Amino acid sequence: MEKPRYTATGLICPCCKQPFPKTEVPIVDLNSNKATYEGLTWHLTPKMAEMLHILTENYPKFVEINDLNIGLYGHASDISKGRGSIAVYAMHLRDSLNPVGWNIICTSKGCSLVKITPTRRLYGRGRKPKAK
């Protein structure tokens, strides 16, 4: 992850070097496949960036599988194939979003981006830390 850059007014975009205000959801740059939230910037694969962009644009609404297929692949003809790849992208996105306090909830009908409260933060893929 890149180190955040700040000015007197706030955070600076790592791509265009312009300041931008705090946002409610992560900002996704589809040109560089990077996401930024609260000063942290991380790299995503192109499909993961597209999926996160779709979810942030529709936040806090639920996005149906058909809409995700159209957004990622440009068609919704083979829903069963798209459902499996969307589940894989969601799994990888969870791993990258968890450190900044976000999660993706997916069902057989679609996905949604949700904010994790500090008391409900996930540990890896559902694993809890070992008690000492």
How high is the pLDDT of residue 129? Answer: 46
Instruction: Tell me if 90 is assigned to some domain.
Output: yes
Instruction: Tell me if 108 is assigned to some domain.
Output: yes
Work out how many domains the chain is built from and give that number. 1
Instruction: Tell me if 37 is assigned to some domain.
Output: yes
- Domain span at residue 44? 11-120
Contacts of 52 (CB under 8 A, 6+ apart): 26, 28, 35, 44, 93, 97, 113
How high is the pLDDT of residue 54? Answer: 93
How high is the pLDDT of residue 11? Answer: 61
SS3 of residue 105 by DSSP: strand
How high is the pLDDT of residue 107? Answer: 86
How high is the pLDDT of residue 39? Answer: 75
Instruction: Tell me if 1 is assigned to some domain.
Output: no
0.85 surpassed by pTM = no
Instruction: Tell me if 126 is assigned to some domain.
Output: no
Instruction: Tell me if 132 is assigned to some domain.
Output: no
How high is the pLDDT of residue 6? Answer: 40
Instruction: Tell me if 32 is assigned to some domain.
Output: yes
* pLDDT averaged per 10 residues in sequence order, the chain, 132 residues: 44 68 80 86 91 91 88 69 78 88 87 75 49 49
Rounded to 5 degrees, what are φ and ψ at 81?
-70, -40
CATH number of the domain residue 113 falls in: 1.10.10.10
Instruction: Tell me if 130 is assigned to some domain.
Output: no
